[in-house]
């Protein structure tokens, strides 16, 4: 009913707007007020195991799998532990190599996804230590794991996941920080900057949400596009995948996410004036390379919607449309960048009069294998 939607026309929009608050709920009691420490009890209770881990394997499906790709980048960068990310449905059926000393992290909003649960059971049989990142307290996956961290973002009703995604990434950043601190694999300056970034996220997401009106206007230009390409690199390659997934799920427009530099090995053949390209080009260590990827798209007549850092002038001069996000340490950019992409997908779907909260053929939790 209207009441549960808190005045928003759809649960999805409500959940997008809730993100400043859900990030607070997710970090509450876990980051000390003075920003000097992060404490995740599930990680600390198994500290030795984590510190001695040979490898971490994420298993997940859908949006949770995209969040896991960001987790891979966070943990490898900060903790220097090798990480792999597996679709639960692939992992469980191919006799995976699981060694003693491996940690399997199962990521699931609902905690009920059948393939992810089965992957957990398999890894458990093979003697791995299983850690869960779930939202639903007491869910099947949460119960089947040895330990874990809840994301605490509240019930997510919209089938297309939004606040759970940003909560999952936030938890992964806190896991990486906890381990990096213990292992001494990041400098104190880096550690503090990530914590400060996490503390500022709610306020910065609020700032991103102020672009909603502009994104809604922008969406009207693309309501009748048949295909979309989303490009990103590094931390934002998974965000490109997630942005494309959001659009597919709720607008039924075909969309593909691709690593920006890999575009020249195939997707570039598709680019013409009918092909909008959403390019993530925040200020990071490969910004210049991303700019040249965008120039390549431009030269072939593609329409460019760029997500850039506030104050950007270089991409602004090339792109057809720009959406700005505030500056933040690179490893946390995925959380800010995902918000305008959620809104873009949402508005395009609304323009097309789609059933945003319950898209055809999709289910909130997939309990079939």
Measured from the Cβ of residue 27, the count of other Cβ atoms closer than 10 Å reads 21
Residues in 67-96 that interact with ligand G6P by CB under 6 A: none
Q: Which of 291, 290, 294 is nearest to 302 (CA)?
A: 294
Are 267 and 282 spatial neighbours (Cβ–Cβ below 8 Å)? no
Find the shortest distance in angstroms from Cβ 148 to ligand G6P.
13
Q: Which of 97, 99, 90, 81 is nearest to 172 (CA)?
A: 81
Find the shortest distance in angstroms from Cβ 317 to ligand G6P.
37
Are 145 and 46 spatial neighbours (Cβ–Cβ below 8 Å)? no
Q: Which is nearer to ligand G6P, 293 or 365 (CB)?
A: 365
Q: Is 173 exposed, middle or buried (0-12, 13-18, 19+ CB in 10 A)?
A: buried
- Can you give 7-45 as a three-state secondary structure string? CCCCHHHHHHHCHHHHHHHHHCCCECCCCCCECCHHHHC
Of the ranges 41-49, 73-81, 157-165, 284-292, which one interacts with ligand G6P (CB under 6 A)?
157-165
Are 181 and 72 spatial neighbours (Cβ–Cβ below 8 Å)? no
Which of 22, 27, 89, 108 is the binder for ligand G6P (CB under 6 A)? Answer: 108
Find the shortest distance in angstroms from Cβ 103 to ligand G6P.
19
Number of residues that bind ligand G6P (CB under 6 A): 16
Look at the chain and count its residues. 369
Q: Which residues contact 50 (CB under 8 A, 6 or more apart)?
A: 43, 103, 179, 182
Of the ranges 96-104, 158-166, 267-275, 303-311, which one interacts with ligand G6P (CB under 6 A)?
158-166
Which of 27, 145, 161, 338 is the binder for ligand G6P (CB under 6 A)? Answer: 161
Provide the β-strand partners of residue 83.
56
Q: Which is nearer to ligand G6P, 23 or 271 (CB)?
A: 23
Answer yes or no whether residue 342 interacts with ligand G6P by CB under 6 A. Answer: no
In the chain the first and final C-alpha atoms are separated, in Å, by 31
Q: Which is nearer to ligand G6P, 69 or 275 (CB)?
A: 69
Which of 261, 318, 329, 366 is the binder for ligand G6P (CB under 6 A)? Answer: 366
Which of 110, 147, 166, 219 is the binder for ligand G6P (CB under 6 A)? Answer: 110
Of the ranges 48-56, 106-114, 252-260, 262-270, which one interacts with ligand G6P (CB under 6 A)?
106-114
User: What one-character-per-residue DSSP string does 149-205 give?
Assistant: EE-------SSS-SHHHHHHHHHHHHHHHHHHHHHT-S-HHHHHHHHHHHHHHHHHH
Of the ranges 23-31, 154-162, 204-212, 220-228, which one interacts with ligand G6P (CB under 6 A)?
154-162
According to DSSP, the β-strands at 129-134 and 147-150 are parallel
Which of 12, 23, 57, 61 is the binder for ligand G6P (CB under 6 A)? Answer: 61
Answer yes or no whether residue 159 interacts with ligand G6P by CB under 6 A. Answer: yes
Answer yes or no whether residue 162 interacts with ligand G6P by CB under 6 A. Answer: no
Q: Which is nearer to ligand G6P, 19 or 116 (CB)?
A: 116
Are 242 and 253 spatial neighbours (Cβ–Cβ below 8 Å)? no
Answer yes or no whether residue 113 interacts with ligand G6P by CB under 6 A. Answer: yes
Of the ranges 26-34, 110-118, 183-191, 286-294, which one interacts with ligand G6P (CB under 6 A)?
110-118
Q: Which is nearer to ligand G6P, 117 or 180 (CB)?
A: 117
Find the shortest distance in angstroms from Cβ 211 to ligand G6P.
24
Q: Which is nearer to ligand G6P, 64 or 282 (CB)?
A: 64
Write out the residues near ligand G6P by the rule CB under 6 A.
61-64, 108-110, 113, 116, 159-161, 362, 364-366
């Amino acid at each position: 009913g209207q009441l549960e939607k808190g005045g928003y026309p759809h649960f999805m929009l409500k959940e997008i707007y809730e993100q400043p608050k859900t990030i607070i709920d997710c970090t509450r009691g876990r980051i000390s007020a003075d920003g000097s420490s992060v404490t995740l009890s599930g990680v600390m209770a198994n500290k030795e195991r984590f510190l001695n881990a040979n490898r971490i394997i994420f298993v997940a499906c859908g949006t949770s799998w995209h969040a896991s790709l960001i987790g891979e980048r966070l943990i490898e960068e900060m903790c220097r532990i090798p990480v792999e990310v597996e679709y639960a449905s692939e992992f469980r059926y191919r006799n995976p190599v699981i060694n003693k000393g491996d940690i399997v992290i199962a990521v699931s909003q609902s905690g009920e996804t059948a393939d992810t649960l089965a992957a957990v059971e398999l890894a458990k049989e093979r003697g791995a230590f299983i850690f869960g990142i779930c939202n639903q307290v007491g869910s099947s996956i949460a119960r089947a794991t040895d330990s874990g961290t809840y994301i605490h973002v509240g019930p997510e009703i919209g089938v297309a996941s939004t606040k759970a995604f940003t909560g999952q990434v936030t938890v992964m950043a806190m896991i990486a920080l906890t381990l990096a601190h213990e292992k001494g694999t990041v400098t104190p300056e880096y550690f503090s900057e990530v914590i400060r970034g996490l503390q500022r996220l709610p306020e910065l997401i609020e700032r991103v949400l102020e672009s909603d009106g502009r994104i809604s206007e922008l969406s009207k230009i693309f309501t009748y596009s048949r295909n979309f390409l989303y490009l990103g690199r590094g931390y934002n390659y998974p965000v490109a995948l997630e942005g494309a997934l959001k659009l597919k799920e709720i607008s039924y427009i075909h969309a593909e996410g691709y690593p920006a530099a890999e575009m020249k090995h195939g997707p570039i053949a598709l680019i013409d004036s009918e092909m909008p390209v959403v390019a993530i080009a925040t200020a990071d260590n490969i910004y210049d390379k991303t700019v040249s990827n965008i120039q390549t798209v431009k030269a072939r007549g593609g329409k460019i919607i760029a997500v850039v850092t506030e104050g950007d002038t270089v991409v602004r001069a090339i792109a057809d449309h720009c959406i700005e996000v505030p500056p933040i340490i690179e490893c946390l950019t995925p959380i800010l960048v995902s918000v305008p992409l959620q809104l873009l997908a949402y508005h395009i779907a609304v323009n097309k009069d789609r059933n945003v909260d319950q898209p055809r053929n999709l289910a909130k939790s997939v309990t079939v294998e």
